[in-house]
Amino acid sequence: MNKILILIATLFLAVCGGAPADQTTPSSEPVKQARGETATGQSSGIDVKVTRNGEPLAAFQSPSDFSGVGAQLVKDHLSIEITSPDNKWVLTIDVPGAKAGVFPLSGAKEAGKSTIILLGDDLFVRASAGELKLNEVSESFCSGTFTGTGTDTMGNKYSYEGKFSRVKVIREE
């Protein structure tokens, strides 16, 4: 299951122009950072909740030594990956044309829209409605909030709600 999850995440990031989370930059700096760490050494904040049919499914909260968050900026495309403390869930957020502002969520890659995907436990669920607000994005860090909803192939309804602050960004060319 984990190999399939890693393969799906790798393929998704490759299609979107990102790199796999375990890849390193030319300077050998890991792409992922420990949760709670920022580019400036200040505390970052991660608070994400996912529900299925109204029941709690996953939570990603800072700080935790066993989970991670990483962000990459390739040209003007921002990719954020948040891993749950038990490594069971991965939430990927992609924003083409990343700059501060509000981006509607889309179930498919569209200009001016963001995507959020939940991976894990044999699931691949896209948020198809909602919005992502990037408060700050730079070559050093990003901050924002999001809310969204999606449905899986079995008809289960998912809701996504979260915030992330001062997450370290790695610049890739």
pLDDT digits (tens, 9 = 90+) for 89-107: 999 999 998 899 999 999 8
Q: Give the pLDDT confidence score for residue 38 in this predicted structure.
A: 40
Prediction pTM value: 0.72
CATH of the domain at 156: 2.40.128
**pLDDT exceeds 60 at position 17:** no
Domains: count for the chain = 1
Q: Give the pLDDT confidence score for residue 44 in this predicted structure.
A: 60
pLDDT digits (tens, 9 = 90+) for 120-167: 988 899 999 999 999 999 988 999 999 999 999 999 999 999 999 888
Query: CA-to-CA distance for 153 and 9, rounded, in angstroms?
Result: 19
Q: Give the pLDDT confidence score for residue 23 in this predicted structure.
A: 37
Q: Give the pLDDT confidence score for residue 113 in this predicted structure.
A: 93
pLDDT digits (tens, 9 = 90+) for 27-70: 334 334 444 444 444 556 788 999 999 999 988 887 544 357 88
pLDDT digits (tens, 9 = 90+) for 19-34: 333 333 333 343 344 4
Q: Which domain holds residue 12?
A: 2-172
User: Are the C-beta atoms of residues 91 and 116 closer than 8 Å to each other?
Assistant: yes
Within 8 A by CB and 6+ apart from 132, the residues are 93, 95, 102, 103, 105, 114, 116, 144, 145, 146, 148
